[in-house]
Each structure stands twice: as structure tokens, then as C-alpha cells.
Amino acid sequence: MEEALNAEKKIITAEKAVHGIYFCIECGEKVHLRRMIDKAPHFYHYKYNEICTLSIKSNNSFFNVDDIINILKSKYKERWSEAINKLIKYDFLEVLTGKDWALNPLDYYMNKYFNIIDKNTFFKLLSTIISIDNEKSEQLLYKFIVSNKLSYNEKKYLIECTLKNNRPINIETFEYIVNNIELSNSIMFEIIYKKMGSMEYNKLLKESKCEYLIFASKLLKSFIKNRNEDGLYVEFLNIKEKHYKFWSEAEKMFFLKIIVKKIRTIKKNTDMEKLLIQEDLKLKYYVQ
């Protein structure tokens, strides 16, 4: 396929495309961009779709994918590099997407060739790593994302991909993001909210610039766990009394809005929701 739809549903040619999320212009299924050494750039379906005329059954005459997988599952590290090099050469790294057993070979390869891997390959290898739901992938994300191999925008893109894939982020990566990457409040909140259950609040609260996001997450987790509006109200008043004075009006308003938004997904038109909306109005129209 020469053309596909990008994330904004706009048609883009394979020649001009960069690695990202794309969809078939006929059936709407997810497609992958491939840039091979001996073929022109093109898109292809992740899975063969028999009802789509643009979907073609794969003919992997250049290598046997099963053989490569068996090599990477083996303990013979000296063969891992050759296997991964073939996947890179034919732009076939997606066969490792989400594969737990692929982490050790990927880590081994990136360490061995760290200084000579080109940036594009490094980025694709790291994208594959974050697709794997494993604590080690969290450690590897931090290990390689702090390097100077990636541009600021590439780091930002990988972090956002990690979030979209519902992948957790460990405390070291979180602290790196807070200090080095400017993300929107909404994305920062989602990172904290999705990971908060296994993070230590005290460690997070050391990052004062995110205090309002951390307290919003803590408050919501408490409400979801207990479904107790009275307890939520008391905790909200405690936060307001002790911490509001250190926050800007924009931070206060985001704190209130994000809590209202999340509460509505659990139960609409609650007394707590009305209270928070009133607090938001006070911030906008009254001097406190």
C-alpha cells in the first residue's frame, strides 16, 4: 500500500510518512509502515484481512520468522544480534511487540550496539520495548530514554505512547519526565493516576510542581475505593486548607475540573460534584 490514514485521519504517502499510527484507507484496520533496504516504502496490514482488497498475505521469502523467534527464545546470546539485525533490516520488529521473552534479547542488543545504533533504529527498538507489559521494560525505558540518542520530541512521543498503551512508568522515569519533559496537565495527571497505586506518595510529593496533580489522583483513588462522599469532602477541605495557597489559580481550577470529570464517570450529579463546580466558579468570579 502506498497510502494510509494517519492518526488525524488524513491520507499520507509511505514516502513521506514517519513511524507512527496508521490505518488502511479501505477497511480502517491498523497498518504498519515498512522501509526496507531493497524495496520502496509501503504500508501493510498488521493482520491479513480477507475482505480488504489492499490486504496482502505476507510472503516472507527473505527469512523465516519462526526461525528468528526460536533463536531469540534460546539462550544462545551470540545468535540474538544476528536475529535482531534481520528484523531491523526488513523492518519486521513488530513481531516482538508485546512479547515478554523478547526483553532480554532487546536489552542485550541495545547494550552491545548502543554507540553505533542509528537514531531511527534506536527509536524503533525502544518503541518495541515499551509495548511489553513487564517491570523490566519500565527499567529499560528509563535506562535508554535518558540517553542523548533521542530528540526532545521523540522522548515526548515515546512517553505518550507508553501512556496510550496503558503501560506503567516507574518512579525514576516519572522524576525524569517532571524535570525534563513538558507535558500537558492532562497527560501528566493520567501518568500519575494510572501508576499511583504502586508509587509512594511521599516520593511523588517531593516534586512540588506536580503537587496539585498528585493530590487530585490521591483524592480520586480514595473516592473510588470507598465511594464515600463525606470522606472525600473532608479530605478535599484538608487539601484546600493546607495546600491551596501554594498553587496558582490555573492549577486550582485544573485540580477541581479533573476531579469532577473523573467523578462523573463513576456517578453523575453527586453532591460532591456540585460542591467542586461551585468552588471552580468562586475561583473565576470571586476574590478569596
Q: Is the predicted pLDDT of residue 95 greater than 50, yes or no? A: yes
Q: What is the pLDDT of residue 59?
A: 52
pLDDT-based confidence at residue 101 (cuts at 50, 70, 90): very high
Q: Is the pLDDT of residue 56 over 80?
A: no
Chain centroid, CA 149 distance in Å:
19
Q: Cell numbers 514516502 correspond to what residue?
A: 15
Eight-state DSSP code of residue 101: G
Among 215-224, 254-263, 276-285, which stretch is predicted with the lowest mean pLDDT? 276-285
Residue 75, burial from CB neighbour count under 10 angstroms (0-12, 13-18, 19+): exposed
Q: What is the pLDDT of residue 284?
A: 64
- Please report, rounded to a whole number, the percentage of residues in the chain having pLDDT higher than 70: 84
Band (208; pLDDT cuts 50, 70, 90): low
DSSP 166: T
Output the pLDDT for position 58.
57
Rounded CA-CA distance 55/24 in Å is: 9
pLDDT of residue 42: 86
Instruction: Report d(CA 206, CA 62) in Å as an integer.
Output: 53
**Segment 180-183 long-range contacts (CB within 8 Å, at least 24 positions apart):** 180/155, 181/152, 181/155, 181/156, 183/156, 183/159
C-alpha cell at 2: 502506498
Q: Judge residue 6's burial from the number of C-beta atoms within 10 Å of its C-beta, 0-12 exposed, 13-18 middle, 19 or more buried.
A: middle
Check if the beta carbon of residue 45 is closer than 8 Å to that of residue 29.
yes
**pLDDT tens digits, 102-133:** 999 999 999 999 889 888 888 889 888 988 88
The count of residues in the chain is: 288
- Per-residue pLDDT reduced to its tens digit, 130-180: 888 888 888 888 888 888 888 888 888 888 877 777 777 777 887 788 778
Average pLDDT, the chain: 80
Q: How far apart are CA 279 and CA 274, in angstroms?
A: 9
pLDDT at 287: 44
Output the pLDDT for position 107. 93
Average pLDDT over residues 227-237: 76
State the average pLDDT over residues 227-233: 73
- Give bridge partners of residue 31 from the DSSP assignment: 22, 45
Report whether pLDDT(36) > 80. no
pLDDT of 276 higher than 80: no
pTM exceeds cut of 0.75: no
- Mean of the pLDDT values across residues 84-95? 85
- The whole-angstrom separation of Cα 207 and Cα 53 is 53
Report the candidate in 196, 222, 144, 18 with the shortest Cα–Cα distance to residue 205.
Answer: 196
Give mean pLDDT, residues 230-254: 83
Residue ranges in the chain assigned as alpha helix (H): 65-73, 77-89, 103-112, 119-129, 135-145, 152-164, 171-180, 185-195, 201-205, 211-226, 229-243, 249-266, 271-285
Phi, psi of 47 (to 5 degrees): -130, 140
> Where on the phi/psi map is residue 59: left (φ > 0), alpha (ψ -120 to 50), or beta?
beta
Please name which of 102, 51, 96, 50 lies closest in space to residue 74, comparing C-alpha atoms. Answer: 102
Of 16-25, 48-57, 66-75, the poorest mean pLDDT is in: 48-57
pLDDT of residue 61: 47
